[in-house]
Amino acid sequence: MFHTKERLNFYDCDPAGIIFYASLFKIAHTAYEKFLAHNSPDRNFFFDDELVLPIIHCEADYYKPLKAFDEIDVSVIVREVRDNSFELKYKFEIDSKLYAEAKTVHVCVDKTKFEKTNLPHQLKSKLNEKSMPRIRE
């Protein structure tokens, strides 16, 4: 599990000061970028000449309102690792109370052929190290 803290900016909110639904994915992606940098410091997948890791599925559940200027504890949890894709779960908490959850599924794509390809061995190994078993939710 990887943890980071993010501040909810006013521009990420609707006129009532509550998070705009799509902004949760922006925060999740920021946490994902930090997670990748922490776990693959020698390879920047956002500027890689050979591979890209696009999101092919995402979903979110909102339990309590996240408000402008909230300091959010974000957890990134590796849920499933396959040969050419992986699933991440995100938990958004304040004072250990769950406010929202999200999920993203990423696939490894060869940049020249635009076809699915296997995850690099080093990344797959690191993801498997960090993987947490599914618990009935």
Mark residue 47 as left, alpha or beta (left: phi above 0; alpha: psi -120 to 50; beta: remaining).
Answer: alpha
CA distances in angstroms from 37 to 28, 43, 129, listed in the order given = 14, 8, 16
- What is the bridge-based pairing of β-strands 97-107 and 109-110? unpaired
76 CB-near residues (< 8 Å, 6+ apart): 1, 2, 3, 4, 31, 32, 35, 88, 89, 90
Degrees to nearest 5, angle at CA 78 with 74 and 84: 135
Residues designated as active site = 14
